[in-house]
Amino acid sequence: MKFRGQAEKEFRVEVEAIGRVRHKNLVRLLGYCMEGAYRMLVYEYIDNGNLEQWLHGDVGLVSPLTWEIRMNIILGDCKRGLEPKVVHRDVKSSNILLDRQWNAKVSDFGLAKLLFSERSYVTTRVMGTYGYVAPEYACTGMLNEKSDIYSFGILIMEIISGRNPVDHFMDSFCWDPGSWLVGVLYEVKNGSNSVSDPSLISNGSETEIIRNGIYSVSDPSLNQKRNRISVSD
């Protein structure tokens, strides 16, 4: 009972802190409910579905998500200046909600973890969705801000290509998205546009977006010049 009381206290502290976070690209947490073993989080309503539906659903031959809209979604997903620092732990297309103006809002902070410093945390359970989870977090449980950056890099790849990273992960447990993106960048530099979502017309901006995706998923054990970028970058 003492352990349960401590867990409930920690839950309240974290949820109330996350509820105080304000950012135009975050779905606002309005409140929460606790009853026995049940927990419920209440968010503001966003009325245009989620990014996964618009990328992979039946939306016709021509996607309404133009390059301009996709660029705005990518830029909107960069959660700069958040205080306190929050690691979402489950950044993926189904957790990106869109309003009627196609503005992106990150949702579902049910797995989020507060960071009270720049150091990493060791978690006993790896949370998130395979295909998006950073490899060092999946293997060691070491959690920090750059765990979300990796997931964001995978999301960039998904937005550009229209391909579902979860499907790629299930097809091959040895799938290396970093190597995949390097190959994609080489193709684009040599005039190939095979990586782009076929429902889109290219506007020439893919190369820079892909480069940012590569930096996002780079191995943090490599030298500093190739280290994974941070949110502020």
Which residue has 């109330």 as its token pair? Answer: 16
Per this entry, what is the length of the chain? 233
| Distances in whole angstroms, Cα of residue 148 to Cα of each of 77, 79, 205 | 11, 10, 24
Q: Which one is catalytic: 47, 58, 77, 90?
A: 90
Best CA proximity match to 178, nearest among 137, 218, 129: 218
- Rounded to whole angstroms, the Cα distance separating 33 from 29 reads 12
Active site residue 90: yes
Long-range contacts of 56-59 (CB under 8 A, 24+ apart): 56/93, 56/162, 56/164, 59/199
Best CA proximity match to 74, nearest among 185, 213, 170: 213
Active site members: 90
